[in-house]
């Protein structure tokens, strides 16, 4: 029996909402975080009368204690299921994404948040759409859908501009919503579309989950002929692995990581890089650092 993974996440700002949950809310209600005193006439709840504060007022009015309510926040995983996500040595990147959404569903249920999923490749995948709900089996449902999609043939790349347009259109249903969005991808597509995408999600807190397999970021240590294939387009080529190629490989990976970091930094966002198997402890530390 596989052990269910779980990670801790919290939003760094106050959010509005009517459903009780685990995040700091901006509205008043049932809670333990004191907000202010107000008149009993304005907030008619005699159970919250503060006698000591009331006798100190000049107007001699009854005052009640008002508390901040902790609220639930809708969580959405926006997952890239394109051909490049089907690459991997021990496990494909899509398998890692499936493990992540399983952990996300388990974590969201414990916190009290509804969770859902949106998927895309060269088109929005309506067959993989899961509306946000608060239920125990949401993580298993989303993980099963992603793993089942990996068994089907991946569409060949029809043009990189289409991928960016599809992603922007896919997240329009989240526009204007105060929610938590996990953008799960290897980001092997042009980053120019990120600006418009993040502008669409202005009211959301976006967490990019960059999934890379170690076989694509760490070149072979031995020299020799290599056969390579572009998993998106199907184009094949051969090359001789040597020290100069290995150095360019490392440099290209470092440059790509810097490009991704810079693209999100312009919007005040820090991506989370996951190399190899999903690491829930590292993601918990990421949120701890972001909310500290």
Name the nearest CA neighbour of 198 among 271, 149, 256: 271
pLDDT of residue 233: 66
Phi, psi of 239 (to 5 degrees): -155, 160
Structure tokens at 98: 């499936």
pLDDT of residue 249: 87
Over the chain, what is the mean pLDDT?
87
pLDDT above 60: residue 155? no
**Within 13 Å, how many C-alpha atoms sit on residue 185's CB side?**
23
pLDDT of residue 277: 93
Name the nearest CA neighbour of 98 among 154, 139, 151: 139
pLDDT of residue 115: 97
* 47-66 pLDDT, tens digit each: 888 999 898 888 889 999 98
pLDDT of residue 195: 86
All structural domains of the chain with their residue ranges:
28-68, 75-291
**Within 13 Å, how many C-alpha atoms sit on residue 5's CB side?**
21
Residues 91 and 153: their CA atoms lie apart, in Å, by 17
pLDDT above 50: residue 89? yes
Is the CB of residue 77 less than 8 Å from the CB of residue 206?
no
Structure tokens at 22: 């685990």
* 280-292 pLDDT, tens digit each: 999 999 999 988 7
Q: What percent of the chain has pLDDT over 90?
A: 45
The residue-averaged pLDDT of 179-196 equals 91
Torsion 18-141-181-172 (CA) sign: negative
Contacts of 155 (CB under 8 A, 6+ apart): 82, 83, 121, 122, 123
The CATH number fitting domain 75-291, selected from 3.90.550, 2.60.40, 1.10.1740, 3.40.50: 3.40.50
pLDDT of residue 156: 53
The residue-averaged pLDDT of 14-39 equals 80
pLDDT of residue 157: 53
pLDDT of residue 9: 94
pLDDT of residue 254: 95
**pLDDT confidence bin for 1, thresholds 50/70/90:** very low
Helices within the chain (DSSP H only) = 51-55, 93-111, 138-149, 160-170, 194-200, 214-217, 243-265, 280-291
Lowest-confidence region among 97-111, 128-142, 168-182: 168-182
The residue-averaged pLDDT of 180-196 equals 90
């Amino acid at each position: 029996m596989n052990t269910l993974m779980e990670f801790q996440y919290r939003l760094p700002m106050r959010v509005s909402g009517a459903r009780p949950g685990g995040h700091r809310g901006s509205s008043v209600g049932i809670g333990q975080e004191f907000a202010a005193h107000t008149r009993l006439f304005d907030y008619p709840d005699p159970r919250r009368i503060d006698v000591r504060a009331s006798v100190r007022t000049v107007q001699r009015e009854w005052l009640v204690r008002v508390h901040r309510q902790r609220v639930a926040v809708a969580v959405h995983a926006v997952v890239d299921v394109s051909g490049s996500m089907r690459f991997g040595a021990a496990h494909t990147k899509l398998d890692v994404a499936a493990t992540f959404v399983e952990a996300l569903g388990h974590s969201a249920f414990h916190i009290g948040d509804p969770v859902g999923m949106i998927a895309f490749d060269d088109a929005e995948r309506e067959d993989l759409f899961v509306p946000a709900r608060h239920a125990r089996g949401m993580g298993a449902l989303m993980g099963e859908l992603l793993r089942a999609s990996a068994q089907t043939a991946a569409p060949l790349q029809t043009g990189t501009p289409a991928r960016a347009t599809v992603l922007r259109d896919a997240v329009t249903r989240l526009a204007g919503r105060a929610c938590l969005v996990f953008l799960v991808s290897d980001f092997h597509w042009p980053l120019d579309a990120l600006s418009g995408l993040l502008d669409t999600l202005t009211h959301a807190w976006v967490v990019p989950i960059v999934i890379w397999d170690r076989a694509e970021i760490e070149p072979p240590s031995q020299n020799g002929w290599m056969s390579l294939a572009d998993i998106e387009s199907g184009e094949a080529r051969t090359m001789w692995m040597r020290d100069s190629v290995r150095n360019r490989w490392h440099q290209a990976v470092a440059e790509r990581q810097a490009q991704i970091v810079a693209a999100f930094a312009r919007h005040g966002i820090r991506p989370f890089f996951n190399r190899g198997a999903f690491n829930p402890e590292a993601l918990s530390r990421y949120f701890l650092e972001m909310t500290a």
